[in-house]
Amino acid sequence: MICGCSVGAPSSTATNEPPASANLRAEGLLLSRCAVCHSTDLVTQQRLDRGRWEATIDKMAHWGAEVSKEEAVMLADYLSARYHPDVPDQEPAHEPEHAAEPLRVETPAAAGRPPGETAHGEVVYAHNCQACHGSGAIGGVGPKLSGNPILGDEDRFWETVLHGRGAMPAWEAALNAQEIADVRAWLGSLK
Ligand code: HEC
Ligand code: HEC
């Protein structure tokens, strides 16, 4: 190999920064294996050293995260390079800076179902749903949600998201009512 550059040789143990291709894979793993239960914010808010990242990933694997040994190492490389104790705390990076007037979607005043905020819904979607339902909600492992008739059936939407269905995980423990309302508002705003 002429130039190892960012691909190829597993040099990640020698340097602090894993190669870019490994970063991409690690980010994919975070979305597809970790975000099924909680937002990736819960992960990237932590500031842990390598040993504690390994222990956390191990714990998540026991709780049901699907990661192979090799993937666990890749995630530990990625997370310990970025989110170690010397890194300052940061605001969630994806929050739109000047989301003008949040668009409120009217919902019947059903108990525990607040009006949704479209702009925030996009963030919640990106962190929790996009891995399966695709960018722009055009579908993936899960069905297309953009324009999906279920958006017009509020009860069915909430029932499906809260309790899951088939391969669709339940979100009751991971998202609060505001976040679910926000996602619904954002999905409803897609044309
Ligand atoms: C099967 C569900 C599930 C999966 C998959 C999962 N987690 Fe978790 N995770 C949890 C639960 C439950 C908590 C505790 C949440 C709380 O305390 O509010 C948690 C908490 C965390 C925390 C907070 C610190 C702690 O120890 O409580 C981190 C960091 C974390 N998970 C990382 C990950 C990573 C990285 C992955 C992917 C490899 C992952 N999780 C996958 C269920 C899961
Ligand atoms: C792990 C993959 C996965 C994730 C993550 C996921 N979904 Fe799903 N979702 C599915 C699958 C698969 C189905 C189809 C379930 C079935 O009917 O068997 C589905 C179905 C749905 C449906 C019903 C669609 C219909 O046509 O009836 C809604 C609504 C939905 N998901 C919303 C969400 C929302 C909102 C999130 C994020 C909070 C989310 N999903 C995250 C996999 C996922």
What's the CA-to-centroid distance between 60 and ligand 1, angstroms? 5
Domain boundaries, the chain: 15-82, 104-189
Whose C-alpha lies nearest to ligand 2, atom 36? Answer: 129
- Given the CA of residue 184, which atom of ligand 2 is nearest to it? 35
Integer Cα distance of 126 and 73 in angstroms: 25
> Are residues 190 and 128 in contact, defined by beta-carbon separation less than 8 angstroms?
no
Task: Give the up-direction half-sphere exposure of residue 24: CA atoms within 13 A in the CB hemisphere.
Answer: 5
Per-residue pLDDT of the chain (191 residues; tens, 9 = 90+): 444 444 444 444 445 566 778 888 898 899 888 888 878 888 998 999 999 999 999 988 888 889 999 999 999 999 999 999 988 876 545 544 444 444 444 444 356 788 999 999 999 999 999 999 999 999 998 999 999 999 999 999 999 999 999 888 999 999 999 999 999 999 999 97
Whether residue 186 has its Cβ less than 6 Å from ligand 2: no
The whole-angstrom separation of Cα 188 and Cα 146 is 7
State how far the Cα of 111 lies from the Cα of 95, in Å rounded to an integer.
27
Q: What is the Å distance from ligand 1's center to 79 Cα?
A: 13
- Ligand 2 contacts CB of residue 64 (under 6 A): no
State the ligand closest to the CA atom of 176. 2
Residue 97 CA to ligand 2 centre (angstroms) = 28
Number of C-beta neighbours around residue 157 at 10 A: 20
Q: Rounded CA gap, 185 and 157, in Å? A: 11
CA of 125 to the centre of ligand 2 (A): 11
CATH number for the segment(s) 104-189: 1.10.760.10
Closest CA to 125 of 151, 101, 106: 151
CATH architecture of the domain with range 15-82: Orthogonal Bundle (1.10)
